[in-house]
Structure 1
């Protein structure tokens, strides 16, 4: 799946502002891009959508704000929602999704190193 380069750049800037320029990793995942903070997925791209890790408890509130459940094939991704790029017209609307996802990742202990 291709991803929207303009949206990816906007996300990159928002994650950098929320996590600090050295506080995140950008990796290819799910056919798009994913930004991890403190070793945990925070946000990503999925086609023309912003993919946001909101946690199990955050799904229903996110759906109430216009997001939709993220799926991979027939499987619903637990704790992850999609927000249409059209619903993110400016930096403030993007930050409203990115910042809490980054903060959520920062609040969790890092995953142990694989080795």
Structure 2
């Protein structure tokens, strides 16, 4: 599985100056970490977000989102956003901000 490098670069530019930022290949794509906690990622052309169970449920009410079901079983704390949902710079910033807020609420692992 590969990932959309253009989308990954857009996400990277939004996150790379944050303290504790790192990258890791995961789920057949690339994940962006903050202080050792998964924040978001890119799998193929999908934006993957870790939002926590409550925030993920709420986010699924938004257009162009769906459950992350990478293994065939939905991951309740994570969602996918399809291209139409992150195409604009404003939309991408919104989604990344949501994932950053959740990642920052977790204890650092690094």
TM-score by length of 1: 0.86
1:15 aligns with 2:15: yes
Partner of 1:93: helix, strand, or coil? helix
> Which 5+ residue runs of structure 2 have no aligned equivalent?
none
Unaligned runs of 5+ in 1: none
**CA–CA separation in structure 2 for the residues paired with 1:14 and 1:83:** 17
Whether the aligned pair in 1 keeps the contact of 2:20 and 2:36 (CA below 8 Å) is no
CA distance in 2 between counterparts of 1:103 and 1:55 reads: 10
Structure-2-length-normalised TM-score: 0.90
Task: Look at both structures and tell me which one has the larger radius of gyration over its CA atoms.
Answer: 1
**For 1:56-67, what aligned pairs fall within 5 Å after superposition?**
56-66=53-63, 67=65
Any idea what SS the aligned residue of 1:43 has? strand
Residue number in structure 2 paired with 1:87: 85
Q: CA deviation at 1:47?
A: 1.1
